[in-house]
Amino acid sequence: MADALLAQDILDGAAVRDRPNLFVIGIFDRRITFYSQQVRALSLVHALKELGYLHANPRIAVVGGGAAGVTAAAAAALVTGSQVVLFESADALLPLQSTTDRRRLDPHITIGRRTTRPIP
């Protein structure tokens, strides 16, 4: 079994070279699903908190209101109690999911190769 990632590994994997305090979620990774992006977003915020980046009254901006950005922004707001600014270029959050004919998060959303059973 692979070793669990340490907080520093997560930050190293998300950091942008020569841009201190700028992190990306999943851009350099191969498997991108709604679930994987949410896990990455929560892992990043947890790592930032653990390594002391989210000190008192941090100024936090998140660019992109998709699965990753919305999750990261919500998590950052929860763990810091600070206001988080979320920038989204579309008219609404989660625009990629807005075309589903059932609801925003389709009940048949797939996780990896497995399609989930409809959520009631």
- Residue pair 115/105 in contact by the 8 Å Cβ criterion: no
The correct pick among 5, 16, 63, 105 for binding ligand FAD (CB under 6 A) is: 63
- Taking each helix axis as running N to C, give the angle between helix 7-14 and helix 34-50, from 0 to 180 degrees, rounded to the nearest 10: 120
Element (H, E) at 20: strand 19-23
Q: Which position among 12, 29, 85, 95 is part of the footprint of ligand FAD (CB under 6 A)?
A: 95
**Binding window for ligand FAD (CB under 6 A); candidates: 3-11, 52-60, 74-82, 90-98:** 90-98
Answer yes or no whether residue 77 interacts with ligand FAD by CB under 6 A. Answer: no
Which residues contact residue 104 at a Cβ distance below 8 angstroms, ignoring those fewer than 6 apart?
94, 97, 98
Answer for which of 22, 85, 96, 119 binds ligand FAD (CB under 6 A) is 96
d(CA 65, CA 67) in angstroms, rounded, equals: 7
Residues 7-46 vs ligand FAD: string with x where CB under 6 A? -------------------x-----xxxx-x---------
CA distance 86 to 62: 5
- Residue type at position 39: V
For ligand FAD, the closer CB: 33 or 42: 33
- Interaction site with ligand FAD (CB under 6 A): 26, 32-35, 37, 63-69, 87-90, 95-96, 109-110
